[in-house]
């Protein structure tokens, strides 16, 4: 539908045991997912102090000299973790590159965990900058909070799909989840629409948990082709459906195009966490999403293979055929 604003949903019921309240929340969430694909959540259970302290790490990291950041370039990792410079990503294949820097971490597991050896692209060791005391501990703490929130969101999505609340638990208990610290320089003067903070795209995984600081830039495209602002609202996260969840729901839930363009005159920081299912989960139409009027649209695919294919199409170093080194 041609929405004009992004709804705010009170997520508090998912932190409690009131079944009726959870069902009411699920109805709101279903409407947002089928009609828009984006919504804010408030009363989500993540401490504001943790959010603020993590955002404080962004200028510390991105303010490092370029040669220090390049030592942990993503090409040196097995799991796409580390630093990506300006213009090395291109989410919109018709554009000229995305005007942001990024620091990524993935779901690192202990060396004793067989998943780490068996699926290094998702559970291998992350890269961390040297000389930033406290940085890793703070970012790890935020990532852990996103894992907890992600599990609660999976439960809410299950209810919104008329499935048992724990339906996704065995399918997403070791989820592929990439978290990013992003830095967008301000674009002052004339803006080339083919080179903005991040070009028009949809996300790859099941859903994204995005925290924005104070600088607006995010826009969501409605069905009329109009770009709708999704400004920062303190105390909320922006949640959007990704392509994997759209496939899983047979396109019942909408994965909506969005972009970011910073013309504020200030640096913009944001922290998205892209939450998927387990690497070996088969993504095929969920119960209740296939009907006579809505036949299955997509062949089954393994979640990990799907996400890897999308990442390969986005990063310049992968398209160069460069294998991870060092």
pLDDT for the residue numbered 45 = 98
Number of domains in the chain: 1
Round the CA-based radius of gyration of the chain to a whole number and report it: 19
Q: Is the pLDDT of residue 323 over 70?
A: no
In a domain, 324, yes or no: no
In a domain, 326, yes or no: no
Q: Is residue 12 left, alpha or beta, with left meaning phi > 0 and alpha meaning psi from -120 to 50?
A: alpha
pLDDT per residue as tens digits for the range 128-168:
999 899 999 999 999 999 999 999 999 999 999 999 999 99
In a domain, 2, yes or no: no
The per-residue pLDDT of the chain, averaged, comes to 92
pLDDT per residue as tens digits for the range 46-70:
999 999 999 999 999 999 999 999 9
Among 48-57, 116-125, 274-283, the least confident range: 116-125
Q: Is the pLDDT of residue 101 over 70?
A: yes
Kindly report the three-state secondary structure assignment for every residue of 88-153: CECCCCCCCCCCCEEEEECCCCCCCCHHHHHCHHHHCCCCCCCCCCCHHHHHHHHHHHHHHHHHHH
pLDDT for the residue numbered 147 = 96
Where do the H-state alpha helices sit in the chain? 19-35, 48-55, 57-62, 66-70, 114-118, 120-123, 135-160, 243-248, 303-312, 316-319
pLDDT for the residue numbered 90 = 87
In a domain, 306, yes or no: yes
In a domain, 3, yes or no: no
Query: Cα–Cα distance between 17 and 230 in angstroms, integer?
Result: 31
> Which CATH number covers residue 186?
2.60.120.330
pLDDT per residue as tens digits for the range 178-203:
999 999 999 998 899 899 999 999 99
Record the pTM: 0.93
Domain residue limits at 249: 8-319
Query: Cα–Cα distance between 154 and 268 in angstroms, integer?
Result: 29
Collapsing DSSP to helix, strand or coil, 220 comes out as strand
């Amino acid at each position: 539908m041609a929405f004009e604003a992004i709804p705010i949903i009170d997520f508090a019921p998912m932190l409690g045991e009131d079944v009726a309240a959870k069902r009411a929340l699920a109805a709101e969430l279903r409407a947002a997912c089928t009609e828009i694909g984006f919504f804010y959540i408030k009363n989500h259970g993540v401490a504001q102090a943790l959010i603020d302290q993590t955002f404080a790490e962004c200028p510390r990291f991105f303010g490092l000299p370029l040669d220090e950041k390049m030592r942990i370039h993503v090409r040196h990792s097995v799991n796409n973790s580390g630093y990506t410079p300006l213009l090395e990503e291109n989410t919109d294949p018709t554009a000229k590159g995305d005007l942001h820097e990024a620091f990524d971490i993935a779901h690192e597991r202990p060396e004793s965990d067989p998943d780490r050896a068996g699926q290094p692209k998702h559970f291998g060791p992350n890269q961390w900058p040297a000389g930033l005391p406290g940085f890793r501990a703070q970012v790890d703490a935020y990532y852990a909070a996103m894992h907890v929130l992600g599990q609660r969101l999976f439960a809410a999505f299950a209810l919104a799909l008329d499935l048992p609340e724990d339906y996704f638990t065995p399918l997403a208990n070791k989820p592929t989840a990439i978290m990013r610290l992003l830095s967008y320089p301000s674009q002052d003067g004339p803006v080339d629409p083919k080179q903005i903070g991040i070009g028009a795209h949809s996300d790859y995984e099941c859903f994204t948990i995005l925290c924005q600081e104070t600088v607006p830039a995010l826009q969501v495209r409605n069905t009329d082709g109009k770009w709708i602002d999704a400004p920062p609202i303190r105390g909320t996260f922006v949640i959007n459906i990704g392509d994997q969840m759209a496939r899983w729901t047979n396109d019942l839930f909408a994965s909506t195009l969005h972009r970011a363009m910073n013309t504020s005159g200030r640096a913009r920081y944001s922290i998205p966490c892209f939450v998927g299912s387990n690497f070996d989960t088969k993504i095929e139409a969920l119960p209740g999403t296939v009907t006579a009027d809505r036949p299955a649209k997509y062949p089954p695919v393994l979640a990990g293979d799907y996400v890897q294919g999308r990442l390969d199409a986005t990063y310049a170093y992968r398209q160069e055929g460069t294998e991870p080194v060092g």
